[in-house]
A and B are shown apart, each in its own frame.
Chain A
Amino acid sequence: MADEGTLREAIASRDKQVTSLLSTPPAAVKAALTDPPYTSESDETRKMSAKVVVKALVAVPEKEIGSVIAGLSGTEQDLLMKYIYRALEGSESSQQLLKWHAVLTEKAGMGCIMRALSESQRV
């Protein structure tokens, strides 16, 4: 069980990586989706992690959302759906997140949402 400290350091380093990759959106999204904090006990850590992902998602222009999602593997798409729902609990960037949700559902289908609902590994 990694403790909160190591998890938060991992998130901070992921944050830096995403910031440096913001010019190439697909790479930034992939980097943000690595190493999800499944074992975290604290809500704060999970919120930090979601913020990193939102930062990467918001940087992608609307027309490219489809192609970025097409470039993700199945597991990454599931993870992205979980992150979208986690980020939708806050009220920032909801417009863009809802857009991502619509495109992701179209590409990944109902199964993706079902897995986000039923998997015990919550992001």
Chain B
Amino acid sequence: ELVHLGSLIMANTLRPYLDCIRQTLNASMCLRNFPSQLVERHNKPEVESRGSKELLLNPIKICRNENEMTLIEPSVNSIRVSVCIKQADEIEEILTHKFSRFLMQRAEQFVILRRKACDGYDISFLVTHSHLEQMWKHKLVDFI
């Protein structure tokens, strides 16, 4: 994983960052089925459609430094996690770009990956309540 490759030297400073993300994800992955309030018989991830403000929770941004940050946007039935990966120079930038494009083109296989990363971030995940019903929460958090 690029993050680990790039920070092998700083491995002990990466740990608290990842632990913080893990705890926050654990707390925010409390999702339940919630049909759309705006359109009858529709069931959309609220974090994407953003129709009703009361269904969205406070977004949390965890920055390790200017280049590495994670944005967690929770809501009642879905959560969006966007990650900015450290890119030290142009080569790493190109590598990250290619790698994330590779992953995102196969987003269907990954189920929780989002086809397009959110603005300003390198990769995004969308986890909905149906994913949590099929998969173990702690495994999902480990994966992310």
Contact = CB atoms under 8 A, between A and B. Distances in A.
A77 B117 CA distance: 34
Task: Summarize B's interface: helix, strand, loop or mixed.
Answer: mixed
- Interchain residue pairs A-B with the least CB separation, the first 7: A98-B16, A113-B27, A91-B63, A89-B61, A117-B57, A91-B66, A110-B27
B50 interface: no
A51 interface: no
Given A88-B61, A91-B63, A91-B65, A114 B27 contact: yes
Interface of A: 85, 88-91, 94-95, 98-99, 101-102, 105, 110, 113-114, 116-119, 122
24 contacts: A85-B60, A85-B62, A88-B20, A89-B63, A94-B17, A94-B64, A94-B65, A95-B13, A95-B16, A98-B20, A101-B23, A102-B20, A105-B23, A110-B23, A110-B26, A113-B24, A114-B27, A116-B60, A117-B57, A117-B58, A117-B74, A118-B57, A119-B58, A122-B58
A32 to B, nearest CB: 21
B112 interface: no
Given A110-B26, A114-B27, A117-B27, 6 more contacts: A88-B62, A91-B69, A94-B64, A113-B24, A116-B58, A118-B58
